[in-house]
Structure 1
Amino acid sequence: MKSERSEQKMAERHTQRMGALKEKLKLTPAQESAWNSYTAAMQPPARGARPTMDRAAFEKLSTPERIDRMQALQQERQGAMRQRGDAVKSFYAQLTPEQKKTFDAESLRHGPRGHRGFGHHGHHGGPGMHRS
């Protein structure tokens, strides 16, 4: 299936980027545990694990029910974003000042979900915005 192939390619690119980042950071053995926790938290969610909305079911809902469903999905996504942010902060705290400079440069270059920095204009408009 096409979406499975693209998801597999995306996972491969993620693995390559993480490997390249690890190489650039020149982590010490003492930082390995923090790296493993970080990479585990940064894994893209499996297709079935992402909060989504079934279009046919959504169309059967009343307007207030649709609003409630959209707000619930937004809260789920925010929770996942918060967890990833906490993982980044925890890992970042384990880095040396030189490693932090490297990490900052790499995260700015790849931005959210691999987009090129914060100047990327996604499907939803503003800088750094991206589709969840």
Structure 2
Amino acid sequence: MKRRRWLALIALPLVGNAFAQFGGRRRREGGDAQKKSGEEPRVNQIEATLHEFHEDLKLTDAQAPAWESYVAKLRALASDLARESRSRPPQLGLLQRIDRVVDAARNRLTALEDIAQSAKALYAGLTPEQQKMADPRLANLIAMPLAARSPLSAN
């Protein structure tokens, strides 16, 4: 069951790439309109959530290294996903595209396992009060970079 959940988390952004081929118009129009109007770019939701979470936890100096490790791994995944979404893949044959999708899923799984390990270490070092605050948020933060690429997030 756990494996299915991980697979679903990994596959969701990949499905987004398929949907992007059909319905990316609205997203592009919003980006162009935003540039033309001179509006400020949207706040990075992951960074804002991390900042709020950090403030709420009120970490001690001893807890800071575990937090930094967790945040660094989460940011690395978000950065990789953003870089991947900006890059234009070369024209590949079907088998090469399949291999590319599988490699991306494998890389995401490895990144998620690293984040989960850091999250567990962070959680173990928290006080019971901090753990109560962290319970609903740690897992949600792990999923945020993946959800940002979801086809559902464009709606």
Bucket of the pairwise TM-score, normalised by the shorter protein? 0.5 to 0.7
1:33 alignment partner, SS class: helix
TM-score, normalization by structure 2: 0.55
The equivalent of 1:25 in structure 2 is: 57
User: Which of 108, 123, 132 lines up with 2:151 in the alignment?
Assistant: 123
Question: Offset of 1:82 from its aligned partner?
Answer: 1.5
User: Which of 64, 73, 83 lines up with 1:41 in the alignment?
Assistant: 73
The equivalent of 2:104 in structure 1 is: 73
The equivalent of 2:3 in structure 1 is: none
Alignment of 1:3-18 (within 5 A): 9-11=42-44, 13-18=45-50
* Alpha-carbon distance in structure 2 between the residues aligned to 1:84 and 1:108: 10
Between structures 1 and 2, the one with greater helix share: 2
- Does the aligned pair in 2 maintain the 1:25–1:102 contact within 8 Å? yes
TM-score, normalization by structure 1: 0.63
Aligned pair in 2 of structure 1 residues 95, 67: CA closer, same or farther (>3 Å)?
same
Unaligned ranges ≥5, structure 2 = 1-27, 36-40
* Alpha-carbon distance in structure 2 between the residues aligned to 1:33 and 1:110: 18
Aligned pair in 2 of structure 1 residues 57, 67: CA closer, same or farther (>3 Å)?
same
Unaligned ranges ≥5, structure 1 = 117-121, 125-129
Aligned pair in 2 of structure 1 residues 115, 55: CA closer, same or farther (>3 Å)?
closer
Aligned pair in 2 of structure 1 residues 64, 87: CA closer, same or farther (>3 Å)?
same
Aligned-pair identity in percent equals 25
Aligned pair in 2 of structure 1 residues 109, 38: CA closer, same or farther (>3 Å)?
closer
* Alpha-carbon distance in structure 2 between the residues aligned to 1:28 and 1:110: 21
Highest RCO, 1 vs 2 (Cα 8 Å, sep ≥ 6):
2
